[in-house]
Amino acid sequence: MIVGYARTSTLDQTAGLEAQQRDLDAAGCEKVFVEQVSSVDVAAREQLAQALDYIREGDTLVVTKLDRLARSVAHLVELLAEVEKKGASLRILDMGIDTGTPNGRLMLNLLGSIAQFEREIMLERQREGIAKAKAAGKYKGRKPTAKAKAKEVLELHAEGVGGTEIAKRLGIGRASVYRILKEEVV
């Protein structure tokens, strides 16, 4: 069976998700697992976990691009080991790679290393740019989201709502709720 996996990092990337689904359908995927979640938040990638659980011996897991699947070479190796343990293979459409062949496995490892290198260089440039902007007084960082909701946190707490429930209702972290409550007490 050919099983597809599509992922975008944010909910507003619908065109990218639709393109992935179209390409996976064209590749003959009989079942496609889809999610919109950051690759950094591995625990939240439930559809990937389900796809890996679903595949069986002789199946092929198909993704459109390597970055839709793995966040680093180490993560790629880990995922590939899981796929191969099940007796399945991995196909990456835009690279023309199929790990069902020795050449495909070699190329995947080489290209995965290059992709990780590019990402690390990009992050390094980003950090340098932020440091330069901070030094020039042009970068303030993102606006604190939890502090903007301090009044609501305090109101809900006064109503007897617990910290976990406050965090859930306001869409902020539990630690932020307790930080706001602690600051109010001091």
User: What's the total number of domains in the chain?
Assistant: 2
Residue numbers of the domain that contains 37: 2-116
Q: What one-character DSSP code corresponds to residue 86?
A: T
Rounded to an integer, the average pLDDT of 76-91 is 92
**Each residue of 129-141: pLDDT tens digit?**
999 998 998 887 7
Beta bridge partners of 63: 92
Tokens of 172: 């902020």
User: Do 18 and 85 fall into the same domain?
Assistant: yes
Whole-number Cα distances in Å, 170 to 153, 173, 174, 177: 8, 9, 10, 9
**Each residue of 61-77: pLDDT tens digit?**
999 998 888 877 778 88
User: Do 98 and 46 fall into the same domain?
Assistant: yes
Question: What pTM does this model have?
Answer: 0.60
User: Do 19 and 103 fall into the same domain?
Assistant: yes
Catalytic-residue membership of 38: no
pLDDT for residue 186 is more than 70: no
pLDDT for residue 84 is more than 80: yes
